[in-house]
Structure 1
Amino acid sequence: MSTHIVPLLAFCICSWLFCVVASRARSRRYKLPPSVPGLPLIGNILQAPHDGQGPYLKRLGDKYGEMFTLRYGRATWVVLNSKRVVHELLEKRSAIYSSRPKLPMAQAIISRGHRMLLMEYGEAWRSQRRIMHGILGSNKRDIFRPFQETESKALLFHLLESPETWYSLLGRFSNSIIMSVVFGRRTTRNDSSLSEIYKVQEEFVPYMMPGASFVDAFPILANIPFLKGLQFWRRKGDALYERTKGVFQRPIDELRLRIQGGTQKPCFMTEFLASNAHSFSAEEVAFIGGTLIEAGTDTTRTSLLGLIAGTAMYPQWIHRARKELDSVCGPNAERLPTFDDRQDLPMIQAAVKESVRWRPANSQTGIPHCLIVDDEFEGYRFPAGTVFTWNNWGISLSSDFDEAERFNPDRFLGDDIDKVTKGHLGFGAGRRLCVGFGVAANNLFIAIARLVYCFDIEQDRVIPITVDKPFPLDADIEPYKVIIKPRSLAHRELIERECRSAALF
């Protein structure tokens, strides 16, 4: 075994010497924001916590200001801590700040380069972006509305029957919408595939955060062609890739069986397989489907998770929202709110944006951007290849927002209320803005309007909600206790009358 380790050690020593020389040369040419002290060679990689990176970066932002620098081996990360600098760099200069950094663990090993979210600019990214835009873009939102109507009704009825299972019901609601559109089937309450999707995503998301993997600090390690059995990062990444590929492939295989059996409804994937599948490998097709599932599921689930906690902790906004709802739908539960009521429900529109802002979970440190050419900004000179990310958790809870700790939709009432991406960073920034933001916003609008109209949401006084750190992404265990019950007998009867059929499938 010792004779096998010698080449690996020699390779690492040569890499270290190269890093030292390169780092000294770069430091003479460029000027970066204040650096967080770290260790020689590895920089700050041992300082980053595995969980709660958002609060960790917020503490650093409070100390170092609007921008600071972290180093992970050869990788230089600049963290942006205000909406102002995010706007100036990632949005106004998006032409040069919108590629993705090389993340060997998340993209090269765990995803084999197939996840569009992490692709660098290039033909592969453009090709998949066109596909995603074709199904999730603004001109396709109406395709989703019948499914959003149906699944939100099913959500209400299931909550009426089993309020204690509210957490799993949020996941079923959001996942069933995208599964209906993409794969032509709904998600059942105890669907094993849903739990599998959340579990691989729960494992994957942390690898997009700063300093998440040792190999990200030294990308050259990902290309070592020998002694792969000793590369601990590769064993872990390869295992997660195989699990992820299996989870993403399963809906494709099931769809093909339904096609063969003549029971498959027309959907996005039937059209895609008929016309485009020959242009992509089997793995690429699986990841295209899987990426659509991830994009269509997770923002809705985590935002509703924040909405319910925020409403239970800060219920003051509910009174104004219900005044609007009752004026539109009737004070005695005459009918459910619909998309046609949107303009008459500004508090619900504002609550959509506040639910995305308040406690970001899966994007607590933003999705990293990469600068493609040298650039200067306010006395700093950044080299091409610098990684930029926004401290989403820190900005969301900063002085950029009045009483930022409170869940308060009032902050978004105003001229931009119809612009769901304005005023917060929950859907990203610049050219890498989430392509499915319109679908996610509509998911949230119909779910929030109907939940607020029909149910009371309260804290469990025995186990109060705590929100000092991001909610965990665990697929099975609810992150806090909450009590959900119908507003009145009339609202219960409305749900039973209007929603029962949607829940029976």
Structure 2
Amino acid sequence: MAVSGATIIAGLLVLLVAHQFLSNWQFNRKYKLPPVVPGWPLLGNALSMPFPAGMWGVEMAKKYGEMYTCYFGGKPYVFLNSSRVVNVLMEKRAAIYSSRPERPMTQGIMSGGARMLLMPHTNRWRNQRKIMHSILNGRSAETIFVPYQELEVKQLLYDLLKDPENFHVCNQRFSNSVITRVVFGRRSGLHDKQLKDILDLVEILGQYLFHPLKNLPDVFPWLHSLPKPLQWWRRGAEEYFNKARDLYKAEFDAFEKKLKSGTARPCFAAELVAGAEKKEFILDETEKLFVFSTLLEAGSDTSRNAITQSIAAMATNPGWVKKARRLLDEVCGENAERLPSLADRKRLPYMNAVVKEVLRWRPFIQTGVPHMLEKDDEYEGYRFPAGTQFAWNAYAIALNENDYKDPVAFNPDRFMDADLNSPLKGHWSFGTGRRVCVGYNVGANNIWLAVACLLYCFDVTEDPDHPIDTFNTVWDVHKDAPFKARIKPRSQAHVDLILNASKEALASDY
């Protein structure tokens, strides 16, 4: 007797359901995960998780507690919603919580397998991190980099004085110019094409990293096994890789010409070349270019967002501004006598607290890039299988009343404690565990200097016709200002100070 096609299909579906049931039963006998957010078959929570996910994550944390589980492509993804659990799992157990999941799209094609941010916890990753750490945090790093930062902040003040409505562009130029000086020894102009290209690349990468439906090949890595003609995503990913590689190669080629002519300034690239010649560093061409990309993308993005957020904090929470300004006036003079400098850090400990509160208050990376567990682990009754992904839920932590008293308010005094001088303590904006941003000292100094000078020279207020929604602002947009604010110099004396101080920056070549 012939068997109909419908019968065969029905039988296959029964087998599939039975297989799934058996697999779930076996998994649940061995493992126990935190509460699971309901999702769809196969896609899991990909349809319900918005981009950006900050306030959605806050609501999920309120509903499901200190940890909850989402599924993407059948794989568990645990969100950590308090500093307590982040500290235990991703800090104290960093030896097994520091790898990365397979990402054939964002790491394999878009990054040529060479982007340190997305590398598994391997010797190749350790080699890149060692190179960056030795150059960015070596004994001479501050001597080399601080003069660059103090020149660029004078240009920032001038730009804000002349075009306050486009404060976001001024912040972008400052952040990018500092990092291009640090990496390649060159400055960036206000409308630098390289800056636009970098920010475009960062925006695209961010969407692919944090928006599951945008990036099905990373959610379902088996799609990468399809014949190349059927990989509909490949062409766009390869175009991204080629654009990124060409961008950083052009920068390095221009630097090499200066190096050969003897006109290159001290910088990261010079140290890298010297180390490679001595066989201290071993990198292939693609790795070298993506080391530069890691620094330029992170350096341009982190500082500009934090400075922009500080402007929102000044406008919406004016109480702390009065205290900070009084302390700045005590050191730099009430009558605009001189600009704050990084040499003032010991005399202005409150500014250290301001920087940490900026980084805590409204995290611009609303969920951390996930770490992957390398072997089975157990914690407080939960049993996690190797391969589970973990991410700190940045907004949920920032607004967690068990972590911070009155967390909605911008209050630097919360950081006036024994950890005041540790830029990494009290927030997670620079990452966690062995994945902490290797350039955090440069980033923290950028924010300190820019915010101190902004506070000292300008009054910042809300535009009453356009109130700032600090909970739902997409901080990292770069084509337009993420909000409106009124930025005016404190006095004519401060205008004169900015004009005099900026002469050096305006006369400096690019």
TM-score by length of 2: 0.90
Distance of 1:237 and 1:402 partners within structure 2? 44
Bigger Cα displacement from structure 2, 241-250 vs 286-295: 241-250
Deviation of the 1:502 alpha carbon: 1.3
Deviations 1:318-352 (A, max 9, x none): 11111111111111111111222212223211110
- Change over 3 Å in CA distance of 1:423–1:478 after alignment to 2: same
Deviation of the 1:247 alpha carbon: 2.4
Which of residues 348, 351, 354 is equivalent to 1:348? 351
Is 1:467 matched up with 2:467?
A: no
Helix, strand or coil at the partner of 1:95:
coil
Partner of 1:32: 33
Distance of 2:506 and 2:393 partners within structure 1? 40
Letter in 2 for 1:98: S
- Change over 3 Å in CA distance of 1:215–1:148 after alignment to 2: same
Contact 2:305/2:475 (<8 A) preserved? no
Partner of 1:126: 126
Partner of 2:251: 251
Q: Within 5 A, what are the aligned runs for 1:370-409?
A: 370-399=372-401, 400-409=403-412
Partner of 1:221: 223
Helix, strand or coil at the partner of 1:97:
coil
Deviations 1:155-185 (A, max 9, x none): 1122122222211110111111111121111
Contact 1:69/1:76 (<8 A) preserved? yes
Bigger Cα displacement from structure 2, 142-151 vs 244-253: 244-253
Letter in 1 for 2:57: L
Contact 2:175/2:304 (<8 A) preserved? yes
Helix, strand or coil at the partner of 1:96:
coil
Distance of 1:354 and 1:157 partners within structure 2? 26
Partner of 2:9: none
Contact 2:355/2:447 (<8 A) preserved? yes
Distance of 2:358 and 2:191 partners within structure 1? 26
Partner of 1:186: 187
Contact 1:19/1:41 (<8 A) preserved? no
Is 1:492 matched up with 2:495?
A: yes
Distance of 2:396 and 2:328 partners within structure 1? 33
- Change over 3 Å in CA distance of 1:284–1:452 after alignment to 2: same
Partner of 1:142: 143
Distance of 1:321 and 1:19 partners within structure 2? 63
Partner of 1:423: 426
Deviations 1:133-169 (A, max 9, x none): 0222264333211111111111112212222221111
Distance of 1:343 and 1:258 partners within structure 2? 37
Contact 2:468/2:484 (<8 A) preserved? yes
Bigger Cα displacement from structure 2, 24-33 vs 88-97: 24-33
- Change over 3 Å in CA distance of 1:258–1:230 after alignment to 2: same
Distance of 2:17 and 2:186 partners within structure 1? 55
Query: How many residue pairs align between the two structures?
Result: 487
Distance of 1:138 and 1:415 partners within structure 2? 25
Partner of 2:305: 302
Identify unmatched segments of 5+ residues in structure 1. Answer: 1-12
Distance of 1:354 and 1:19 partners within structure 2? 50
Is 1:504 matched up with 2:476?
A: no
Helix, strand or coil at the partner of 2:233:
helix
Bigger Cα displacement from structure 2, 53-62 vs 251-260: 251-260
- Change over 3 Å in CA distance of 1:19–1:491 after alignment to 2: farther
Helix, strand or coil at the partner of 1:181:
helix
Partner of 2:3: none
- Change over 3 Å in CA distance of 1:22–1:208 after alignment to 2: farther
* RMSD, matched Cα: 2.1
Distance of 1:409 and 1:286 partners within structure 2? 38
Helix, strand or coil at the partner of 1:406:
coil
Distance of 1:169 and 1:348 partners within structure 2? 21
Distance of 2:271 and 2:439 partners within structure 1? 20
Contact 2:105/2:218 (<8 A) preserved? yes
Contact 2:94/2:433 (<8 A) preserved? yes
Partner of 1:232: 232
Contact 1:90/1:429 (<8 A) preserved? yes
Contact 2:144/2:267 (<8 A) preserved? no
Percent pairwise identity: 45
Deviations 1:377-407 (A, max 9, x none): 0111001111000101111122122222222
Letter in 2 for 1:240: Y
Q: Within 5 A, what are the aligned runs for 1:45-64?
A: 45-49=46-50, 51-64=51-64
TM-score by length of 1: 0.91
- Change over 3 Å in CA distance of 1:17–1:433 after alignment to 2: farther
Q: Within 5 A, what are the aligned runs for 1:103-182?
A: 103-137=103-137, 139=139, 140-182=141-183
Distance of 1:18 and 1:286 partners within structure 2? 49
- Change over 3 Å in CA distance of 1:271–1:422 after alignment to 2: closer
Deviations 1:408-446 (A, max 9, x none): 212212222111111111111112111111111111111
Deviations 1:252-290 (A, max 9, x none): 122234345554334321342354279433222211111
Deviations 1:6-47 (A, max 9, x none): xxxxxxx9xx89994655532331111111111222222222
Which of residues 456, 473, 493 is equivalent to 1:453? 456
Distance of 2:19 and 2:396 partners within structure 1? 31
